[in-house]
Amino acid sequence: MKAYVVRFSKQQRTEHVLVMSTFLVLAVTGFPQKFFEAGWSQAVVNGIGGLDRVRWLHRAAGVLFSLLCGFHIASAIFSVLLGKASFALIPSKKDFSDAITTLRYYLGLSNDQARFDRYDYRQKFEYWGLVLGGLLMVATGYVLLAPILVTKLFPGEVIPAAKVAHSNEGLMAFLVVITWHIYNAHLNPDVFPFDTAIFTGKVSRHRMEHEHPLELDRLDATKGDKKGE
Ligand code: HEM
């Protein structure tokens, strides 16, 4: 029996690298525009080669990010149509009871720990936050990209509203990533200094027993090819 389980497919790993890189470019080129008076913004803009280049890069990365979102959603719809979807990321009643069980455990009120399946409630929350937040960024980003066209179809107020939503949702997404996601992927004592699973695709059986015991039980029972040695 292998000591690890293959948890993420090549497609999932590639999507993660691409989203991570485009998100980084969007943050580095977006925030100096939002906080344009700050000294660090001017240093970043000068370092990149001027405002025109910063804006061009932001728009190019934005279009790439929107294509990635489109691809991800289309591929999810296809897997549903082909009957291959797992629905493992859909929130369920168990997520709410797991959250309460975990809270009670951390508060020392109970010794029971929740047993998670493929994704726990925190992972689902983060995933849906990224998908819904990403869609809002894409929709408002395209409004800012083509304001004249948009005002032919919608009232003019849509443009400043889109700018406020884009700017503040962008900041919130960034803060969520650097607190929540960096904690889970790097600072969490179970994975410190770096959870490599989304890059290698592999997770040790030991971690699976601890973090996703229900999925491991199912893999062992079905002897699927995702199971390790
Ligand atoms: C998800 C990551 C993204 C982040 C963190 C982000 C962040 C930002 C920020 C902070 C600004 C400055 C807003 C202000 O002046 O207050 C901005 C502007 C802008 N963003 Fe984004 N953005 C993201 C995605 C996108 C996408 C997907 C597009 C769509 C193509 C886009 C297109 C634009 C445009 C056109 C502007 C106006 C600046 C200009 O005219 O060059 N952004 N963004």
pLDDT grade for 226, boundaries at 50, 70 and 90 = very low
Q: Are 54 and 29 in contact (CB under 8 A)?
A: yes
In a domain? residue 17? yes
Query: Residue 106: is its pLDDT beyond 70?
Result: yes
Arithmetic mean of pLDDT, 27-39: 98
User: Quick one: which of 183, 191, 196 has its CA closest to 7?
Assistant: 196
Ligand 1 mutation target, pool 64, 144, 148, most atoms within 8 A of CB: 144
Looking at residue 156, what is its pLDDT? Answer: 97
In a domain? residue 213? yes
Ligand 1 mutation target, pool 166, 167, 174, most atoms within 8 A of CB: 166
Structural domain boundaries enclosing 100: 4-222
Mean residue pLDDT across the chain:
94
In a domain? residue 86? yes
Domain harbouring 113, CATH code: 1.20.950.20
- Cα of 148 to ligand 1 centre, how many Å? 17
- Cα of 167 to ligand 1 centre, how many Å? 7
Tens digit of pLDDT for each residue in 144-195? 999 999 999 999 999 999 999 999 999 999 998 889 888 988 998 888 999 9
Q: How many CA atoms lie within 13 A of 72 on its CB side?
A: 20
- Cα of 195 to ligand 1 centre, how many Å? 29
Looking at residue 85, what is its pLDDT? Answer: 82
- Cα of 165 to ligand 1 centre, how many Å? 10
In a domain? residue 72? yes
Alpha-carbon gap, residue 45 to 28, rounded angstroms: 9
In order of 33, 48, 217, the CA distances from 199 in angstroms are: 31, 28, 24
In a domain? residue 217? yes
Alpha-carbon gap, residue 8 to 227, rounded angstroms: 12
Query: Residue 228: is its pLDDT beyond 50?
Result: no
In a domain? residue 105? yes
Ligand 1 atom with the smallest distance to the CA of 145 is 35
Looking at residue 162, what is its pLDDT? Answer: 98
Phi, psi (5° rounding) for residue 202?
Answer: -105, 145
Looking at residue 1, what is its pLDDT? Answer: 67
State the total domains in the chain: 1
**Where does ligand 1 bind, in terms of residues with CB under 6 Å?**
23, 26-27, 30-31, 33-34, 55, 58-59, 62-63, 65-66, 134, 137-138, 141-142, 144-145, 166-167, 170, 173-174
pLDDT grade for 84, boundaries at 50, 70 and 90 = confident
pLDDT grade for 223, boundaries at 50, 70 and 90 = low
Angle in degrees, CA 113, 118, 121, rounded to 5: 55
In order of 3, 112, 170, 174, the CA distances from 20 in angstroms are: 28, 35, 14, 11
Query: Residue 110: is its pLDDT beyond 50?
Result: yes
Query: Residue 229: is its pLDDT beyond 60?
Result: no
Cis amide bond preceding 193, omega within 30: yes
Q: Are 225 and 201 in contact (CB under 8 A)?
A: no
Arithmetic mean of pLDDT, 67-89: 93
Ligand 1 mutation target, pool 22, 28, 33, 45, most atoms within 8 A of CB: 33
Arithmetic mean of pLDDT, 55-78: 97
pLDDT grade for 2, boundaries at 50, 70 and 90 = confident
In a domain? residue 229? no
Tens digit of pLDDT for each residue in 114-145? 999 999 999 999 999 999 999 999 999 999 99
Looking at residue 227, what is its pLDDT? Answer: 43
In a domain? residue 228? no
